[in-house]
């Protein structure tokens, strides 16, 4: 009897993870493929297939270091139970659907992180389960990432404009190829 209930819980857990990943895909991945499709570097079907394949193989190529950091350095291990993980995934699904429906830009990763913190706090009823140094590292990364992206993007754009000034329109063909490389890189890192 216990084996059947554990099997059912495992099936529900896997189904929730697949649903979250699917919603994550249509919630976040449209941003990755939009420019490649709009510029006609790739047709929509090819761009989506390429993004899906890249998303799928990323953990096999790069591992799961971010998930390990969150699991090991954010919360006390005693606070991470099956119920906490399920609650985090369900809250991430709900938040993603709400923000998608209303057209509010948000991050699926941030939703999952918030759901995990909230569920762990409710489960343990103590703020002591949060590793403040791990939370600080994650918060700094979340804060600095857009700033670093803005600065690097600005510099790369300035260099690019300098390098292609006076170039023939054939340079657009090269940029379309670079967009495909960017699509793959963003999909792998997402």
* DSSP code, position 42: S
Residue 168 backbone zone (phi > 0: left; psi -120 to 50: alpha; other: beta): beta
- Other Cβ atoms less than 10 A from the Cβ of 73: the count is 13
* Tally of residues, the chain: 190
* Structural contact between residues 125 and 150, judged by C-beta atoms closer than 8 angstroms: no
pLDDT at residue 89 in the model: 92
Walk along the chain (190 residues) and give the pLDDT tens digit of each residue.
Answer: 566 677 888 888 889 888 988 888 777 777 788 889 998 899 999 998 898 888 888 878 777 666 676 667 788 878 888 888 899 999 999 999 999 899 888 888 888 888 989 999 999 888 888 888 888 888 898 889 889 999 999 999 999 999 888 878 888 888 888 888 888 888 888 7
pLDDT at residue 1 in the model: 56
- φ/ψ of 75, rounded to 5, equals -125, 155
List % helix, strand, coil for the chain (3-state, nearest 5). 85, 0, 15
pLDDT at residue 124 in the model: 87
Q: Is 46 exposed, middle or buried (0-12, 13-18, 19+ CB in 10 A)?
A: middle
pLDDT at residue 22 in the model: 83
pLDDT at residue 48 in the model: 87
In a 3-state reduction of DSSP, which class is residue 7?
helix
* Structural contact between residues 29 and 187, judged by C-beta atoms closer than 8 angstroms: yes
DSSP 47-108: HHHHHHHHHHHHHHHH-SHHHHHHHHHTB-GGG--HHHHHHHHHHHHHHHHHHHHHT----H
- Other Cβ atoms less than 10 A from the Cβ of 50: the count is 18
pLDDT at residue 91 in the model: 95
């Amino acid at each position: 009897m216990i084996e059947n209930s554990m099997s059912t819980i495992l099936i529900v857990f896997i189904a929730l993870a697949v649903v979250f990943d699917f919603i994550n895909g249509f919630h976040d991945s449209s941003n990755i493929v939009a420019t490649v499709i709009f510029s006609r570097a790739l047709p929509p079907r090819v761009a989506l297939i390429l993004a899906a394949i890249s998303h799928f193989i990323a953990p096999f190529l790069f591992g799961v270091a971010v998930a390990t950091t969150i699991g090991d350095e954010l919360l006390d291990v005693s606070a991470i139970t099956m119920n906490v993980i399920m609650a985090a995934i369900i809250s991430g699904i709900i938040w993603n659907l709400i923000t998608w429906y209303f057209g509010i830009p948000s991050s699926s990763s941030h939703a999952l992180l918030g759901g995990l913190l909230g569920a762990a706090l409710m489960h343990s009823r103590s703020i002591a389960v949060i590793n403040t140094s791990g939370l600080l590292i994650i918060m700094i990364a979340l804060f600095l990432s857009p700033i670093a992206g803005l600065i690097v993007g600005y510099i790369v754009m300035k260099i690019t404009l300098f390098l292609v000034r006076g170039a023939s329109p054939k340079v657009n063909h090269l940029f379309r190829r670079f967009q495909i490389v960017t699509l793959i890189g963003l999909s792998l890192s997402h």
